[in-house]
């Protein structure tokens, strides 16, 4: 089984996350994409995070009708900060050696990869799939310390859209760089729109929008302003 791992705060999960998951699954021939909501992300301040139970439930609602998408509470069950190395080891135990793990990560986050906990071991446990992000070029990968040199023309072709993926040797499993169609949706923009009382209908799955309204999420500033 080929399993894609898509971690994130999903604060909230939106149509962009779903599009990225489905496009990546199709491009790489993966059997399933596993959404992994983070409990306490080590690289993010907790100020604007909705409670983890709410973020988990929103993902569950968003993917309920698509059997190719699944959700894991592996990072919620574990107390303290969520480190990828611990998550991967637990998932390896859970799914067994017959499952090949693909770690999906945005280019922006992957540029910080050398600062992660135990990055060299991570490279042995799974195959990394670096996904394009708006406003960033794959050529910036040449600045990441642990990576082997990737031919510059390949990265330039990827940025220009002349090719959609490249594979490079990295660790035990290898590295895939994947250019996806741009998704101009951001969770911070959605939170801002909700605070201002603006429509979000095309940005969120309907069940997620209903959940946010029902549980009064992301409305703190608006409530303060009105009081």
With 60 as the cut, is the pLDDT of residue 226 above it?
no
**DSSP-based three-state secondary structure for 208:** helix
Residue 94 sits at φ, ψ, to 5 deg, of: -70, -40
Residue 172 sits at φ, ψ, to 5 deg, of: -90, -30
Q: Tell me, what's the pLDDT at 184? A: 85
Q: Which residues pair with 13 in a beta bridge?
A: none
Report which of 68, 55, 8 is spatially closest to residue 36, judged by C-alpha positions: 8
N-to-C CA span, the chain: 53
**DSSP-based three-state secondary structure for 102:** strand
Question: What's the CA gap between 195 and 212, in Å, rounded?
Answer: 11
**DSSP-based three-state secondary structure for 119:** helix
Residue 35 sits at φ, ψ, to 5 deg, of: -80, 135
Q: Tell me, what's the pLDDT at 162? A: 92
Q: From the CB of residue 199, how many other CB atoms can be counted at a distance below 10 Å?
A: 9
Domain ranges (residues) in the chain: 2-183
Mean pLDDT on 29-37: 97
Mean pLDDT score of the chain: 88
Question: What's the CA gap between 218 and 55, in Å, rounded?
Answer: 12
> DSSP per residue over 63-87, as a string?
HTT-TTEEE--HHHHS-S---HHHH
Domain 2-183 fold:
Rossmann fold (3.40.50)
CA distances to 161, 202, 205 from 173, in Å: 25, 38, 34
Band (146; pLDDT cuts 50, 70, 90): confident
With 70 as the cut, is the pLDDT of residue 76 above it?
yes
Q: Tell me, what's the pLDDT at 222? A: 47
With 80 as the cut, is the pLDDT of residue 74 above it?
yes
């Amino acid at each position: 089984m080929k399993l894609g791992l898509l971690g994130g705060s999903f604060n909230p999960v939106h149509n962009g996350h779903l599009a990225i998951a489905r496009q990546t699954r199709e491009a790489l021939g993966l059997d399933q994409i596993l959404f992994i909501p983070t409990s306490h992300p080590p690289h993010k301040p907790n100020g604007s995070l909705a409670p983890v139970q709410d973020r988990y439930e929103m993902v569950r609602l968003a993917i309920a009708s698509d059997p190719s998408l699944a959700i894991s509470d592996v990072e919620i069950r574990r107390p303290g900060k969520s480190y990828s190395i611990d998550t991967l080891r637990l998932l390896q135990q859970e799914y067994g050696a017959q499952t090949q793990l693909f770690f999906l990560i945005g280019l922006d986050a992957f540029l910080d990869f050398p600062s992660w906990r135990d990055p060299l071991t991570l490279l042995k446990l799974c195959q990394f799939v670096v996904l394009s992000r708006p406003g960033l070029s794959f050529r910036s990968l040449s600045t990441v310390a642990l990576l082997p040199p990737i031919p510059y023309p390949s990265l330039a072709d990827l940025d220009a859209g002349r090719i959609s993926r490249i594979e490079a040797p990295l660790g035990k499993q290898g590295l895939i760089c994947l250019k996806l169609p741009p998704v101009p949706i951001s969770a911070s923009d959605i939170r801002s729109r909700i605070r201002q009382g603006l429509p979000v209908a095309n940005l969120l799955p309907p069940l997620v929008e209903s959940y946010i309204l029902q549980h009064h999420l992301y409305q703190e500033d608006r409530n303060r302003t009105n009081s």
